[in-house]
């Protein structure tokens, strides 16, 4: 992600990485990858798209990706039941 966004001259990359790792340590890899991809593509509306997101912004987007993944999984599990009864 750092290679996709310019860094401030004052940014301590090591500290920023520690913040990210602490914020997403319990996240599923698929959710983290989806969140990062959305930031890189400019699909996340929060924050400034010219700079790396804060650890809090990344964590929020990871939670949103988790919610979407779980919702899609529930819908997929219910789809066959709807076809049989419909």
pLDDT of residue 57: 93
21-36 residue pLDDT tens? 999 999 999 999 999 9
Alpha helices by DSSP H, listed for the chain, are 13-24, 29-41, 55-85
Q: Give me the helix-helix angle, 29-41 and 55-85, nearest 10°.
A: 110
Is the per-residue pLDDT at 37 higher than 90? Answer: yes
Query: Is the torsion defined by CA of 55, 23, 3, 29 positive or negative?
Result: negative
Tokens of 56: 């809090």
> What's this model's pTM, rounded to 2 decimal places?
0.79
Extents of the domains making up the chain: 2-85
* Per-residue pLDDT reduced to its tens digit, 39-74: 999 999 887 888 888 899 999 999 999 999 999 999
Contact partners, residue 46, CB within 8 Å, separation at least 6: 53, 57, 60, 61
């Amino acid at each position: 992600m750092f290679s996709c966004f310019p860094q401030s001259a004052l940014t301590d990359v090591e500290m920023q990485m520690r913040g990210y790792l602490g914020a997403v340590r319990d996240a599923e890899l698929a959710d983290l990858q989806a969140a990062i991809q959305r930031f890189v593509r400019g699909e996340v509306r929060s924050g400034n798209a010219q700079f790396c997101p804060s650890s809090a912004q990344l964590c929020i987007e990871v939670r949103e990706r988790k919610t979407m993944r779980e919702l899609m999984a529930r819908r997929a599990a219910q789809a066959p039941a709807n076809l049989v009864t419909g």
